[in-house]
Amino acid sequence: MLIWSAKGRVAALLVCAALVGVFYLLPLWVIVAASVAGQWNGLLPEQLTGQHYLNAMSGQLGRQVGVSLVTGLIASAAALMVGTWSALSVRSLARWPRKLSHAVFFVPGAVPSVSVGLGLLVAFSRPPLLLNGTVAIVVLAHFILVFAYTFANISAGVQGLPVDMEQVAHSLGASPAFCLRHVTLPLLMPQMVTAFSLSLALSMGELGATAMVYPPGWTTMPVGIFSLSDRGDVFDGSALSIILVAVTLVALLAVSAASSKRS
């Protein structure tokens, strides 16, 4: 307790309410309001309508939901696999090689996403591997960008693993593969779920690298929202944004439900 006087408390809470309201509640509210607004000139939206959602869900725009989900799921699953592998493989290294590998695995998260996209364009528009213009280059970009976050999450979990449980299993004659499957991975499950959820959310909202590499016909939701708002269809853009947030939340809930059912 920092402030004891009633007046001081009220003042502090009012300042806090104003800050949270202006910075965090108002932006969410205006996007929701704009997504159902027929017209908006004054304080409140007028002529409420569901038309923007119909526009956002129909035809080309509706396809974007699927494109984003497929991209996000494949990239996040790949990042989960490679990230878990990396985090487990570096833990038996000595101090300095381990630190170095950590730094190497984190670097993709520190490089600006546009530059990651540029690198992919430059590298895969030439032999030996031509990926420019394919769906694969979009998935690859998302994989690289979410990989570092997956690795960070899981290696935090690996550092907190109780070593003795694996040693007990090992001393009882369990093979390394058995240990991994039945001891280590179950213990890491919470971090793996968190990592997968976060990568999915990040991938669904990714714009920088996608804008660089996406081929016609594989437009993700963020790119779609940008083209809508760029040409002034801000209300349709808001509706697609709300769909983006909703689909992300539903996907996250599904991930956490599936994982709690398994354990």
Partner 1 sequence: MSTGAFGLPRRGLWALPPLAVLSAAFFYPLLLVGWQSLHAQADAGPWSTQNFSRLLGSTLFRNALTHTLEIALAATAGCLLLGFVLALVFAFVPFPGAKILARLIDTYIALPTFLLTLAFTFIYGSAGLLNGVALRHLGFSEGPVHFLYTIWGVILAEVTAFTPFVLRPLLAAFSQLDVAMLEVAASLGASPWRMVRSIVWPAALPALLAGGSMCLLLTVNEFGIVLFIGAKGVVTLPLLVYDKAIQEGDYVMACTIAVLNIAISLALYGLYSGMVDRLGRPDADLVR
- 156-195 residues in contact with partner 1 (CB under 8 A) are 156, 159-160, 194
Q: CB count, 10 Å around CB of 223? A: 19
Q: Write phi, then psi, for 244 (nearest 5 degrees).
A: -55, -50
| Site residues (CB under 8 A) for partner 1, limited to 54-93 | 82-83, 85-86, 88-90, 92-93
Please select the residue that binds partner 1; options are 38, 50, 66, 97, rule is CB under 8 A: 97
Q: Mark the segment that binds partner 1 (CB under 8 A) among 53-61, 104-112, 167-175, 182-190.
A: 104-112
Task: Rule CB under 8 A: say whether 138 interacts with partner 1.
Answer: no
Cβ-based nearer residue to partner 1, 13 or 165: 13
**48, 54, 123, 185: residue in contact with partner 1 (rule CB under 8 A):** 123
| Alpha-helical regions (H) of the chain | 6-20, 26-35, 51-57, 59-90, 95-110, 113-123, 135-159, 163-171, 176-179, 185-204, 208-213, 221-230, 234-262
Residue with Cβ nearer partner 1 (89 or 260): 89
Two tokens, residue 34:
């704009």
Should residue 108 be labelled a site residue for partner 1 when binding is judged by CB under 8 A? yes
Of 245, 247, 256, 259, the one binding partner 1 (CB under 8 A) is: 245
| Stretch in the footprint of partner 1 (CB under 8 A) among 49-57, 115-123, 163-171, 181-189 | 115-123
Which amino acid, one-letter code, is at 10?
V
Rounded-to-10 torsion of CA 213, 215, 219, 224: 70
DSSP 39: B
Nearest to partner 1 of 57, 211 (CB atom)? 211
Whole-number Å distance between alpha carbons of 241 and 248 = 11
Task: Say whether residue 41 binds partner 1 (CB under 8 A).
Answer: yes
Site string for partner 1, 215-234 (x = CB under 8 A): -------x--xx--xx---x
CB 138 within 8 A of CB 218: yes
113 binding partner 1? (CB under 8 A) = yes
